[in-house]
Structure 1
Amino acid sequence: MILCAGESLIDMVPEDGSFRPLAGGSVYNTAIALGRLGESVSYLWPISRDAFGDMLLRPLAEAGVDTDLCPRTDRLTTLALVTLTGGEARYSFYDEGSAGRMLAPKDIPTLPDAIDALFAGGISLVPDPCGAAIESLITREGGRLPVMLDPNIRPFFIPDAEAYRARLARLIARSDIVKLSGDDLEWLYPDLPLEDAARRVLAQGPRLVLQTGGAAGARAHWAGDPVAAPAIRTTVADTIGAGDTFNAGVLASLRRQGVLTKAGLATITPDQIAAALTLGARAAAITVSRPGANPPWAHEMPA
């Protein structure tokens, strides 16, 4: 079972001059996408008892995501006000004292034996105490479980860039797979070309560094020559949840190929990497073809 640990929130998406609330959050979207793809998945993040908390739980249940590790709390749900410019999503967060924000290292439970891989990332890595909580989980479990990390960097959400860079450096060194967009790489290494920046991340310890670029497709940097997969042509409604769905497709493919283990990732082949990138791209193409973070179900995926 893959454990997804990180933020859930409500995206307030523009619609007909007002805003429509939609369940979202980077790690939450990946958990939903994994469940819809038919993978065994668990989710770890505090869920509020407010009405938005109920809205968050419903899609998790529908996708078959195990929520036994999600504590309920009276703190409020994080809200993200979304604006769209040319189909690209931009966010403003209302997060102070929220249910997820106040997750502390002491709240991280002992993981069930069924958990055999870990995915984490998003804005949950930035503020404390929740950032310290997720870091403590990866520090504790990363030696035995394969870890995939997607920081999904939002510069305007980071009050102390130096401290966050230090945290990311520690997390990257403990991760087996790191996914970074072009924007992420530019933030991490503003003076380097994207390819050089990705190789700099790879040198910190991961087995795979996945570099995504929207319409430019995805590239994997690893011990061998880079492996590329093109983006799938589609009509874009918006990009909300695209990267999160890509992550789920990659994880699903690696699991189905039997290489989502420490040993498997150590001996992975170019064909196995290409298959993972391709499934991620196919899943993401369906998500961007419809409004909001709405990942595909297994029956919607091309054969």
Structure 2
Amino acid sequence: MILCTGESLIDMVPENGQYRPLSGGAVYNTTVALGRLGVPTAYFWPISRDPFGEQLLRPLVEAGVDIDLCPRTDRLTTLAFVTLTGGEARYSFYDEGSAGRMLHPDEVPALPSQITALFAGGISLVPDPCGAAVESLVARERGRLPIMLDPNIRPFFIQDEAAYRARLSRMLPMADIVKLSGDDLEWLHPGASHEEAARAVLGLGPKVVLQTGGSEGARAHWAGETVFAPSFRVQVADTIGAGDTFNAGVLTSLSRQGMLTPEGLESLAAEHLLAALTLGAQAASITVSRHGANPPWAHEMTA
């Protein structure tokens, strides 16, 4: 069972002069996508008892995600108000004292024996105490569980860049798999090419660095030759949740191939990575073909 830990929130999306509340958050989206793809999945993140918390729980339950590790709290759900300018989204976060933001390292539970891999990341790595809580979980489980990290870097959310860069410098070497977009790579290594930046991250210790490029396809940088998988051509509605769904597809493929274990990651071959990239790209293509973060169900992947 894959455990996902990181933010869930409500995106307040403008619609006809008002705001429509949509469930979201990078790690939350990946969690829902994994469940829909039929992978045994659990989620660890505080969920508010407010109405938005109830809204967040429904898609998790519908996707079969185990939410037993999610503490309930009277703190409020994080809200992200979206402003669209020329088709580009800008966000204003209402996050101070929120349910997720206030997760403390001493609230990180012991993991059940059925947890076999860990996925973490998102904006939850930025502020404290929740950033320290996620870091402590990853540090505790590294080496015992395969760990995939997607920092999903959002510069507008970062208030203390030095502290955040320091956290990533500690966490990236702890991960077995790191997913980074082109924007992420440019932020991490300004002035370097995407290939150079990805190889620099690989040099920190991960076994695989996945580089996503939207319509330009995805690459896996590892000990061998770079593996490339093209994107699937579809009519794009929007790109919300595309990278999150890609993560779920990669994890699904590696799990099904029997490679999402410490031993499996040591024996990765190019064909394993190509299959993972391809399934990730296929899943993401379905998400971008419809509005919002609405990842595919398993039966849609075979249609």
Match in the other structure for 1:136:
136
Aligned to 1:252: 252
Residue of structure 2 equivalent to 1:157: 157
State whether residues 89 and 238 of structure 1, in contact with CA within 8 Å, keep that contact through their aligned partners in structure 2: no
Corresponding position: 1:120 with 2:133: no
TM-score scaled to structure 1, two decimals?
Answer: 0.98
1:175 aligns with 2:194: no
Q: Judging changes above 3 Å, is the alpha-carbon distance between structure 1 residues 220 and 205 closer, same or farther for their aligned structure 2 residues?
A: same
8 A Cα contact 1:102 1:128, kept in partner:
yes
CA distance in 2, matches of 1:264, 1:98: 38
Distance of aligned partners of 1:204 and 1:14 in 2 relative to their CA distance in 1, 3 Å threshold: same
SS of the residue aligned with 1:145? coil
Give how far 1:265 is off.
1.0
Q: Measure how far apart 1:227 and its partner are.
A: 0.3
CA displacement, residues 147-185 of structure 1 (integer Å, 9 cap, x when unaligned): 000000000111111111111011110000000000000
CA-to-aligned-CA distance 1:91-150 (integer Å, 9 cap, x gap) = 221111100000000000000000000000000000000000000000000120000000
Amino acid at match of 2:56: L
Deviations 1:64-86 (A, max 9, x none): 00000000000000011123456
d(CA) in 2 for partners of 1:218, 1:176:
18
> The residue matched to 2:211 in structure 1 has which SS?
strand
Amino acid at match of 1:149: L
The aligned amino acid for 1:192 is A
Structure 1, unmatched stretches of 5+, are none
Aligned to 2:212: 212
What does residue 100 of structure 2 align with? Answer: 100
1:87 deviation in Å? Answer: 5.2
Q: Work out whether 1:276 is the aligned partner of 2:263.
A: no
Sequence identity, in percent? 74
| Structure 2 CA distance for partners of 1:161 and 1:234, relative to 1, 3 Å | same
In the alignment of these two chains, the number of paired residues is 303
Are residue 224 (structure 1) and residue 224 (structure 2) matched?
Answer: yes
Say if 1:89 and 1:239, in contact at 8 Å, map to a contact too.
Answer: no
For residue 110 of structure 2, what is the aligned residue in structure 1? Answer: 110
**What CA deviation, in whole Å up to 9, does each residue of 1:169-224 have, x standing for no partner?**
11110000000000000000012111100000000000000000111110000000
Q: For 1:124 and 1:102, locate their aligned partners in 2 and report how far apart those are by CA, in whole Å.
A: 10
Letter in 2 for 1:26: A
The answer as to whether partners of 2:143 and 2:262 remain within 8 angstroms in 1 is no
Q: Structure 2: which amino acid aligns with 1:34? A: L
Distance of 2:217 and 2:92 partners within structure 1: 27
Q: Which residue of 1 aligns with 2:59?
A: 59
Report the CA distance between 1:89 and its aligned residue. 3.7
Q: How much does 1:237 deviate? A: 1.1
Q: How many Å separate the matches in 1 of 2:291 and 2:90? A: 14
Distance 1:51 1:184 in 2: 33
Whether contact under 8 Å (2:11, 2:81) holds in the other structure is yes
CA contact (8 A) 1:87 1:236 kept: no
Question: 8 Å contact 1:87–1:237 — kept in the other structure?
Answer: no
Deviation at 1:61, TM superposition (A): 0.3
SS in structure 2 opposite 1:92?
A: strand
Q: Structure 2 counterpart of 1:293, which letter?
A: A
Amino acid at match of 2:146: P
**Considering only aligned residues, what root-mean-square deviation do their CA atoms show, in Å?**
1.0
Please tell me whether residue 90 in structure 1 is matched to residue 90 in structure 2: yes
Q: Whole-Å Cα distance in 1 between the matches of residues 136 and 187 of structure 2? A: 24
